[in-house]
Every structure is written in structure tokens, then in C-alpha cells.
A and B are shown apart, each in its own frame.
Chain A
Amino acid sequence: MDKTIATPAAAVADIPDGAVVMIGGFGGSGAPIELIHALIDRAPKNLTVINNNAGNGHVGIAAMIEQGLVAKMICSFPRSSDPVAFTEAYKAGRIELEVVPQGTLAERIRAAGAGIPAFYTATSYGTDLAEGKPVEEFDGKHYVRERWLRADVALIKAHHGDPMGNLTYRMAGRNFNPVMAMAADRTIAQVSRIVAPGDIDPEHIVSPGIFVDAVVEVPNPVQEEILIREGATYP
């Protein structure tokens, strides 16, 4: 078994127009910038993007929006230190927004990965974000029913990976990456280093390879925060 792919460009080559794409990361931490930029080079249109945020500055998801790739954002917090790309597209009516409470977003993704089509949560009960959703009372407390959230593709960032698709993460860069890996038909992971099967202690594997379809090595990945401080733009 060898899930390795030589380049980010080759890894994202099959993502079609209209795809639902999960992108890991929380702000820049754990964001697969090289995969995102490879996707911008390919320029599929009319994408639905699922991420905690909606881009920052003029790189990564913000650059996807500026290049007109994104028809809809599903996120918890479409603000950042420089949210101009999303803000302008939203105010011009070029992009649709679905705001989801952060824990509900994570759990909808996890539920999809675990084959659970819906679940109940206290989060958002009695608020505008619960409008139109079924409510049920369990043991004296009200809960809102939420649906799973699936994707065609997940682009994620990990630390070490092996050809079987086993992954480790780095610090808080883990965030949404392991749950998104479970919830997409095809999960593509960029890793700082590919090691041989067995080189990652099985006790330390966070995402077992069954959730991962492709692994591409990106040594010394850029950090979105550094790019933004440099005023970088993409392309």
C-alpha cells in the first residue's frame, strides 16, 4: 500500500467544480496552505468550503475567495485580523454564508465521519441559529437536532505521515484536521515528513490511515500568520 503522491498539484488534480471541500486549520494553525494554493492554481469553481473561519489576508482561503472559487462558506467565525476578502465578497452578494456554532460544526463533521446522520445538542437552543430545527426535551432540558456534515474532499495538514496514511499532528495545529479526515469521500493530507510504515509509534498515531486517501510531503510548510505579516498575496 502506498498512498503517497508526489506533489500538491497532483494531489488536488481531481477536485471538480461544485465540490464540497473541508479545509483543516484554525486560523493559520494547521491550515494546509500549500494544498490550498495548489487548488487555486487548478481553479475549480462554485466550491462549498467548510472551515472554522473564512480566510485572512490574501493567502489561503482568502485567496480562494478572491479568485472566485468559493460559492458558499460554512464556518463558525468569518472574521479574522484582515477578513477583507470574505467581507467584500459577502457584501457584494458573491458568496453564501452558513454560520454554525463551533462545537456544532466539529460534531456535525465528526458525526458524518462516524455514520451518525443527526444528533441533539443544547448548543443554540433558543437562538436564531436554531430556527427551523427540531427541538426535543430530554431529562428536562431542551436540545436542538443537527445534521451531519459531509464533504467530497478534505484538505488537511498533519506533521508526520506514512505511506499507509497514518498521521500525527503538531501542537494546536491538530484542531479540525482529524475530524475532517473522517468525514470526506477523499482525504488529502500534506505532511512535513513522510516516514516508513512502522516509524510512527502506533501509540502516537492520531489519524489511523483508514481515514486518509493521499499523503503528500511538503517539507517546511509556510505558516499563514507569517505570510500575512509579510503582506503576501496568492497567486
Chain B
Amino acid sequence: MSSLDDIKLTNAQIAWRAAQDIEDGAYVNLGIGFPEMVAQYTVEGRTPIFHTENGVLGFGPAPAPGDEDWDLINAGKKAITLKPGAAFFHHADSFAMVRGGHLDVAILGAFQVAQNGDLANWSTGKGAIPAVGGAMDLVQSAKRVAVVTDHVTKTGEPKLVDSCTMPLTGVQCVTRVYTSLAVVDIAEGHFVLREKLPAISFDELQDLTGAELKTEGPVADLTVPET
């Protein structure tokens, strides 16, 4: 295997892969930062409807600089635009959409994902000021909770782990992880490898993963555009 940095997917490529699984007409919430990139790679011909916690359904990309209206922002406090059919609502209704199980997909970042689907993504537990936002609501109640992440930390530690050592955001909530090396499902308390980069062997990938990677049938090649 060549250096991991040479073969691993960029965040844009991970976002592209995650976007392939979003169905036409799905109601989708994307976490602040990296997960927001998934919207840029919406598959042609599909029209997902994006939800933001602060009370908008059906928003579009950022406006041109100078055209911002600061009453029209997303959860990341960035200026957005509206698509035809967009709707405004107050915060309790916004979270009724989340907690009532009306959202089809939530895609978030992660510090750690455990093989039972536990997610840690809100606090390192190391003394930083705690800030949770809407993450705990999203992970417990969206119909499908997926994670986009590097496969390992900056220091090479696995982010897919046996059990989370960092404070949990939610329990047994994640069902699919799109990493910089693989696509991994979580089923019945185990990681199930679905796709991996052709440039990495199964054994090499297992060494970079903190719990057993099971397989069910053939593992597909994870192939993405250059972007």
C-alpha cells in the first residue's frame, strides 16, 4: 500500500459518494461544515429537500457575495437562498420534523463511531466548552443516520471503534459510514464492509479499523470522480 494520504478520498469525494444514496424527494438534514458539502453533489434528476434546524425547508446554495439577507441563514449561520416551494417555520415545528421522525436522512460528522452504531461527535470530553446544537435530536430520530468522516484521526487512530471513548451524541443510531477509504454499514452490532478503495487490501483496511469488519457477499470497489 502506498501512503494513506496518496490514496484516501478528499472530503469532496466522500461527500459525492454520500450524495449517491440520497433519493429523489428525500427530506435531508446535513450537519454544519463537511456534511454540508453533500448538497453540492446532488445526483442529476433528483430533488432532495434540505432542512435546516433554524426553520427552513427547501433552501439552496449561498447567494452571490453582496446579495446576502441575514434573516435567511442556515444552521451554520451562513447565508442561503430559497428554492421554489421553500417553507419557513418556528423552532418547535422544526424539531417536530426532526423528533417526529419526518426526516428521511441526517448526515453528520464524527469523532468516533462504534460498531453498535453509537456516535460521538459533539464533545471531545477534554475541557472545551460543551456545545451540542441539534445533533442529539437528529441522531435519535431521523429515519436514516449516516456519517461522513476520515477513516482515521490525524494521528492515525481508528475513528471506527469497538466502543466510543468520547462522550456520546446518541446510542445505536448510525447505520452507514462513508469514510475516506470505505463504505461501512452497521448491522446487528457489527461493521459490515460494503465498498473499499481498490488501492487498499482488506487486511490493511482492517488494521485501520478499531473493530472487526465483517463482510456479507462481495465487497464492491469504491470509485468516485476526481472532483
Q: Which residues of A contact B (CB under 8 A)?
A: 26-30, 52, 76-81, 86-87, 90, 97, 99-104, 106-107, 109-110, 121-129, 169-179, 206, 223-226
| Interface 1/0 per residue, B131-150 and A, CB below 8 Å | 11111110011000000000
- The complex places the Cα of A184 from the Cα of B52 at a distance, in Å, of 26
Which of A99, A123, A173 contacts B130, CB < 8 Å? A99
Task: Please tell me if B46 contacts chain A, counting CB pairs below 8 Å.
Answer: no
In the assembled complex, which residues on chain A have CB atoms less than 8 Å from the CB atom of B77? 26-29, 80-81, 225
Task: Please tell me if B111 contacts chain A, counting CB pairs below 8 Å.
Answer: no
Task: Please tell me if B171 contacts chain A, counting CB pairs below 8 Å.
Answer: yes
- The complex places the Cα of A107 from the Cα of B135 at a distance, in Å, of 15
Instruction: Say whether A175 contacts B91, CB under 8 Å.
Output: yes
- Knowing A102-B137, A126-B170, the reply to whether A175 touches B132 (Cβ < 8 A) is no
CB distance from A46 to the nearest CB of B (A): 21
Q: Which residues of B contact A (CB under 8 A)?
A: 52-56, 68-73, 75, 77, 88-92, 94-95, 98-99, 118, 123, 129-137, 140-141, 167-171
Instruction: Say whether A172 contacts B167, CB under 8 Å.
Output: no
In the assembled complex, which residues on chain B have CB atoms less than 8 Å from the CB atom of A27? 54, 73, 77
> Closest A-chain residue to B54, C-beta based?
A26
Which of A86, A123, A177 contacts B136, CB < 8 Å? A123
- The complex places the Cα of A89 from the Cα of B169 at a distance, in Å, of 26
CB distance from A70 to the nearest CB of B (A): 15
In the assembled complex, which residues on chain A have CB atoms less than 8 Å from the CB atom of B98? 103
In the assembled complex, which residues on chain A have CB atoms less than 8 Å from the CB atom of B118? 126
- The complex places the Cα of A124 from the Cα of B70 at a distance, in Å, of 31
- The complex places the Cα of A232 from the Cα of B170 at a distance, in Å, of 39
- The complex places the Cα of A176 from the Cα of B54 at a distance, in Å, of 8
- Knowing A26-B54, A87-B129, the reply to whether A176 touches B167 (Cβ < 8 A) is no
Instruction: Say whether A102 contacts B129, CB under 8 Å.
Output: no
- Knowing A103-B95, A107-B92, the reply to whether A77 touches B71 (Cβ < 8 A) is no
CB distance from B137 to the nearest CB of A (A): 3
In the assembled complex, which residues on chain A have CB atoms less than 8 Å from the CB atom of B169? 127
CB distance from A166 to the nearest CB of B (A): 15
In the assembled complex, which residues on chain A have CB atoms less than 8 Å from the CB atom of B94? 103, 106, 175
Instruction: Say whether A102 contacts B53, CB under 8 Å.
Output: yes
Instruction: Say whether B73 contacts A106, CB under 8 Å.
Output: no
Instruction: Say whether B72 contacts A122, CB under 8 Å.
Output: no
- The complex places the Cα of A177 from the Cα of B91 at a distance, in Å, of 8
CB distance from B34 to the nearest CB of A (A): 16
Instruction: Say whether A76 contacts B133, CB under 8 Å.
Output: yes
Instruction: Say whether B55 contacts A175, CB under 8 Å.
Output: yes
Which of A99, A110, A126, A172 contacts B88, CB < 8 Å? A172
CB distance from B214 to the nearest CB of A (A): 24
CB distance from B124 to the nearest CB of A (A): 12
- The complex places the Cα of A79 from the Cα of B132 at a distance, in Å, of 10
Which of B54, B95, B99, B167 contacts A29, CB < 8 Å? B54
CB distance from A86 to the nearest CB of B (A): 8
Instruction: Say whether A122 contacts B140, CB under 8 Å.
Output: yes
- Knowing A90-B129, A103-B98, A123-B99, the reply to whether A171 touches B90 (Cβ < 8 A) is no
CB distance from B94 to the nearest CB of A (A): 7
Instruction: Say whether B137 contacts A99, CB under 8 Å.
Output: no
CB distance from B99 to the nearest CB of A (A): 5
In the assembled complex, which residues on chain A have CB atoms less than 8 Å from the CB atom of B136? 101, 103-104, 123-124, 127, 129
In the assembled complex, which residues on chain B have CB atoms less than 8 Å from the CB atom of A81? 77
> Closest A-chain residue to B90, C-beta based?
A178
Instruction: Say whether B131 contacts A99, CB under 8 Å.
Output: yes
Known: A107-B95, A174-B89. 12 other contacts (CB 8 A): A76-B134, A86-B129, A90-B129, A101-B132, A102-B132, A103-B99, A106-B94, A110-B92, A123-B136, A171-B56, A172-B56, A225-B68
